[in-house]
Amino acid sequence: MQASLCRVIVFCADVKKLTGFYEKYLGLTIVGDLSEDWAVLKSGNFELAFHRIGEEYRKSSPENFTADTNTKFVFEITGSIEDLREKLLENKIEVGELRTFSGMSDVVCDGKDPEGNVFQLKLIHR
């Protein structure tokens, strides 16, 4: 038997805000119906889903919610990583500097989505 990862579900406070972020800035496509409690976004053969956390875990306001996570989403991008990084910064999205690592030609930068989930943009030089 071999398992294949097809979807990651992220618990969040504001499904629509996160869905809008990943749709607008990273070009993910909404699959099916979007609701206050559930959304699925498609990225290639992979799905990123958002599920609203239970009321007992919500803070007083979804605007103040910050994720406590040890996960990083890595997105391979096409086009200009510099332009995308600048667009994110202009829209007050937390994004770090562009970096490369010894022995690799990829250019990357890390950021945080509106709820504090860490993501990485990765431009691959082949």
pLDDT digits (tens, 9 = 90+) for 86-112: 999 999 999 999 999 888 889 999 999
CATH architecture of the domain covering 71-126: Roll (3.10)
**Can you point out the beta strands (E) in 1-126?**
7-12, 29-31, 38-43, 46-52, 72-77, 107-112, 118-123
Confidence of residue 49 (pLDDT cuts 50, 70, 90): very high
Confidence of residue 56 (pLDDT cuts 50, 70, 90): confident
Q: How many CB atoms lie within 10 A of CB 18?
A: 22
Mention the CATH class of domain 1-56: alpha beta
* Domain definitions of the chain by residue range: 1-56, 71-126
CA 53 to chain centre: 17
| pLDDT of res. 20 | 97
| pLDDT of res. 59 | 65
Domains 1-56 and 71-126 share a fold: yes
